[in-house]
Structure 1
Amino acid sequence: MCHACVIENVRSSMLSRRALFTGAAATGAAAIALGALSARPALAQATGRVIDLTHAWDGDFPTFDGLPGITYEPDKTIEADGYQLWKLTLFEHSGTHIDAPMHFSADGISVDEIPVEQLICPLCVIDISAKAAEDANATLDPEDIEAFIAANGDIPAGALVAMHSGWAAKVADTTYRTNEAGDFAFPGFSKAATDMLAGMEVAGIGVDTLSLDPGNSPDFGVHNSWLPGGRYGIENLAGLDQVPATGATVFVGAPKHKRGTGGPGRIIAVA
């Protein structure tokens, strides 16, 4: 399916879901805010090792639409003004960034309205890199969550659940975004998996790829269900191979501009 067709399908789906999720967003956000209080004990588990889960970002960083996510214009220079200052033009959804509920819901909360209690979370990393090596559009599925729980124990309410597909290693290559035919091709969550995580009162999900949905998604099913429920996502994570499956705490440095549908962030884990 062409990229423009995908976006048009999503636009019509968002409008039909607006009324459905208006109440759900408020209920979901309240439940997560309560669950997020359980994030605090995770701080005591850390040994003090700090891992940056954020890619360095410039106009060459891959974006969904293929356009530069950020451009620089000199505003002040040492030679002329005695100090330096860039004028930046950026798209909210570029680099390692947050998807706020408002991104896929006209009535969803904006990025500045995400409760701060939801931005310090126990981090759970589910590794699907073996599947992703075989299938560029592999998905994190309910059985992956079940296997994670069997090996590591329950996923706590208020957690950030991150998908580690190994895709971050491809970020400098065109295959991070598309396959040889020019079609989107990258791993993501399945809607069945995120529905399962929503029932566990997870605060947010994260991926080391361009999108919460896999590249071959025709309708952004995860975006359309997860975000309007009052939850957030993080895309283009780095360094997930350096953190344990459980036991780390993640600090989500979300931007705080009003009416924001999301924005570039600094994501840091302490393990």
Structure 2
Amino acid sequence: MCSPRIVRVAHESAETSRISRRAWLGAAGLGALAAASGPAVAQAIPVRANAVIDLTHVLSAQLPVWPGNSPFTMVPVAWHDHGGFGQNALVLWEHTGTHLDAPSHQVRGGASVEQLAADDLVAPLVVVDISAKAAADADAELTVSDIARWEAVHGQIPDRALVAMYSGWERRLSDPGAFLALDAEGRPHAPGFAADAAEFLVTRRNIVGAGVDTLSLDPAASRDFGAHTAFLGAGRYGVEMLANLAQVPPTGATVIVGAPKHVGGTGGPCRVLALT
């Protein structure tokens, strides 16, 4: 598009036929100078992905939470008919829905959410499927043997990956009672990482974090929370209650963890995306 200066010179030339070639070049130079001295246009970096899979559950009051935690609540506090804007107040515990566990959730003095390195929130995604044994055993664990079988097929887990357990537990969400699977003592039951598998992933595979499609990194009935201790104690993070892991290939995807960033946070709901 021509600058106003060039348009004006061209118009005067048509009217008077007296403009010189030097004037034309000068006008063009002014336009080029203006373009060169103006702000550069930022170039978007393309995200190369065949598909983007949302690994996040929709937050609602109906979504199961850890026994004893309050459910998610949303209260309208502003309305479009009064002032032109709508707004809700949110009431929730940090560890609600698809959420992140920061090291400080388990470790006194550990890193809180705002201290997590941004580089660690974008990582190769590994999905280890234990859904067959989880269907037969609510207390199933992802073990070192499961990791060895996965690596025999897919190769060694890449450095600085996020390793996610897929147990198929989200198929129970239509029945919150079945999802929590409380026993007579009120203790929940659901699959999770075995403590030695968590330790192996931290010390031998240098992962950035671990994920599960259940409410806890540990089997829900655990009393010592060994997987939490191994992951969070080593400065790694966890992501609990992931969705749609069955749609993600065992390897080759990249995960983006949209972690919360509030000062001193031990965790919080996050939007998690897999790029395949």
Give the structure-1-normalised TM-score. 0.81
Between the aligned partners of 1:179 and 1:93, the Cα distance in structure 2 is 19
Structural mapping, 1:227-246, within 5 Å: 227-246=232-251
2:58 maps to 56
Maintained 8 Å contact 1:45/1:248: no
Between the aligned partners of 1:164 and 1:112, the Cα distance in structure 2 is 27
Say which of 114, 123, 126 aligns to 2:125.
123
2:33 maps to none
1:111 maps to 113
Between the aligned partners of 2:151 and 2:78, the Cα distance in structure 1 is 53
Structure 1 residues 116 and 77: alpha-carbon distance in aligned structure 2, compared to 1, 3 A threshold: same
Structure 1 residues 84 and 45: alpha-carbon distance in aligned structure 2, compared to 1, 3 A threshold: closer
Structural mapping, 1:40-79, within 5 Å: 47-79=49-81
Q: In angstroms, what is the RMSD of aligned CA positions?
A: 1.6
2:201 maps to 197
1:254 aligns with 2:262: no
Between the aligned partners of 1:45 and 1:193, the Cα distance in structure 2 is 33
Between the aligned partners of 1:59 and 1:224, the Cα distance in structure 2 is 29
Between the aligned partners of 1:234 and 1:68, the Cα distance in structure 2 is 19
1:84 maps to 86
State the shift of 1:238 in Å: 0.3
Maintained 8 Å contact 1:46/1:249: no
Between the aligned partners of 1:46 and 1:82, the Cα distance in structure 2 is 39
1:222 aligns with 2:224: no
Structural mapping, 1:172-187, within 5 Å: 172-173=174-175, 174-179=177-182, 181=184, 182-187=186-191
Between the aligned partners of 1:46 and 1:139, the Cα distance in structure 2 is 34
State the shift of 1:54 in Å: 0.3
Task: Indicate the structure with greater helix content.
Answer: 1
Between the aligned partners of 1:55 and 1:143, the Cα distance in structure 2 is 29
Between the aligned partners of 2:140 and 2:173, the Cα distance in structure 1 is 17
Indicate the structure whose relative CO is greater, using CA pairs within 8 Å and at least 6 residues apart: 1
Maintained 8 Å contact 2:202/2:230: no
What letter corresponds to residue 192 of structure 2 in structure 1?
G
Q: Which runs of 5 or more residues in structure 2 are unaligned?
A: 1-45
State the shift of 1:66 in Å: 4.3
Give the structure-2-normalised TM-score. 0.79
Q: Which runs of 5 or more residues in structure 1 are unaligned?
A: 1-43
Between the aligned partners of 2:72 and 2:135, the Cα distance in structure 1 is 30
State the shift of 1:67 in Å: 3.7
2:20 maps to none
State the shift of 1:47 in Å: 4.1
Maintained 8 Å contact 1:102/1:109: yes
1:24 maps to none
1:165 maps to 167
Maintained 8 Å contact 1:98/1:254: yes
Between the aligned partners of 2:174 and 2:194, the Cα distance in structure 1 is 26
Maintained 8 Å contact 1:46/1:248: no
- SS at the partner of 2:160? coil
- SS at the partner of 1:118? helix
Identity %: 47
What letter corresponds to residue 216 of structure 1 in structure 2?
A
Describe the superposition over 1:22-48 as per-residue Cα deviations: whole angstroms up to 9, x where unpaired: xxxxxxxxxxxxxxxxxxxxxx99642
2:216 maps to 211
What letter corresponds to residue 197 of structure 1 in structure 2?
L
State the shift of 1:149 in Å: 0.5
Structure 1, 44-53 or 61-70: larger mean CA deviation: 44-53
Between the aligned partners of 2:106 and 2:96, the Cα distance in structure 1 is 16
State the shift of 1:80 in Å: 2.4
1:148 aligns with 2:150: yes
